[in-house]
Amino acid sequence: MTRYPDAFIREIPKTDLHVHLDGSLRLSSLIEMARQGGIALPSYSESGMRELVFKDGYADLVEYLKGFAYTCDVLRDPENLERVAYELAIDNIEEGVFYIEPRFAPQLLMDNGGLTMERVLEAADKGLRRAKAEFNARPEVRDGSLPHFDYGIIACAMRMFGPKGFSPYYNDFFALHRYSEPMEVMRLAATEVARGVVRIRDERGIPIVGFDIAGQEAGYPAGNFREAFDFAQKNFMHKTVHAGEAYGAESIFQAITDLHADRLGHGYYLFDLEKVTDPEIEDKGRYVEDLASFIADQRVTIEVCLTSNLQTNPDLTDLRRHSFGKMLERRLSVSLCTDNRLVSNTSVSKEIRLALDSFDIGPSMLKDIIVYGFKRSFYPGPYAEKRNYVRRAITHYEAVAAKYGIEA
């Protein structure tokens, strides 16, 4: 098995295609902003927050998501949101991540005091743009020694939300549609987000490159949100869908066929036969293998989040049992991602190290995984520009590999 030094992992060009902005704050910044804004936290020390909220291990996905109540509270402030976006970009740059696609649900950060979807997206973009300008002004970037840093924003809708507690925006949305069935309200909300982010992209020039839907899969099928994703499709916006995180192959199939998914978030339960529940599927093994082959053939990329899956699936006690191994065996297009840098206490480099220590990944396969991140990104520029960017990333990867004597 090839040995990959930590320094090599640090130096190779990397991407993060699945990183939630509201789950990736610096803990020190969260505490500072909460103090300044009078927001109550269970503890105002980093060690206390690690013990009580942002743990190394979680009982389940419900516990994992509790920390977002605190992060969203502090992010309902444009200055805080700009700061967090800037710091996220800087943290990635410092570990050799050249391209990121921060995603978040702007409607979770909107309030009743003028913090509109436009202001939320503009604040995040302002912070990311500032970090990009600073890094790209460096001599080693300007002379082509390093690829430039870039980003695209992915806007999330929510599969489900309640009439109270999710956010001021959703509280009001439910109140305005109190006579409609809850599922219909959620469908309408997703369509509203899709229409909003397309308009903001076109009118404000913000690089909103993708549309996503996150939240509980079971009971909230993809087909319910077809209208929102049809609108995104017709307006040339890329689609990524949380699927297979807590539900099975059927959810993944729906994401691809009903929602036009270009990429899949997680895909963890793709090969789990027990998660296939449709009584019309008689041969579950054949169904799963056919679906995996279809995903491979269509080059639908899976955004794999190893640490996050370990933390939200208590039955996964040995990472070597993660479906990532089967994805590699079947040559699926995969990219290693963080999901949430704060909530999962991770980084892109840590995710790559976990993968290399747990699976048999040779130099050629590793290069493919890294390059898929650039190739399957929703890069905000024209296609010809993206091809040049991918080529620079590959060239840089090969130079780093040669430096460490690793075949590329």
Q: How many Å separate Cα 80 from the centre of its chain?
A: 20
How far is it, in rounded angstroms, from Cα 160 to Cα 170? 10
The confidence score (pLDDT) of residue 1 equals 62
How far is it, in rounded angstroms, from Cα 395 to Cα 403? 12
245 is catalytic: yes
Strands (E), 110-172: 150-151, 153-158
Instruction: Give 260's strand partners.
Output: none
Q: Indicate the pairing of strand 97-104 with strand 301-304.
A: unpaired
Q: Can you say whether residue 15 is alpha, beta or left, with left for phi > 0 and alpha for psi between -120 and 50 degrees?
A: beta
pTM given for the model: 0.96
The confidence score (pLDDT) of residue 219 equals 82
Active-site choice (11, 245, 250, 303) = 245
Reference 81, options 124, 126, 113, 112; nearest CA is 124
For the record, the structure tokens of 240 come out as 């990524």
Instruction: Count other Cβ atoms within 10 Å, centred on residue 145.
Output: 11
What does pLDDT average to in each consecutive run of 10 residues of the chain (408 residues)? 90 98 98 97 97 90 88 96 98 98 96 90 98 98 96 95 82 92 94 98 98 86 93 98 87 94 96 92 96 96 96 90 97 97 97 97 97 98 97 97 92
Q: Which domains does the chain have, with CATH numbers?
A: 6-403 (3.20.20.140)
The residue length of the chain stands at: 408
- Concatenate the DSSP letters of all residues of 179-194 into one string: TS-HHHHHHHHHHHHH
The confidence score (pLDDT) of residue 113 equals 79
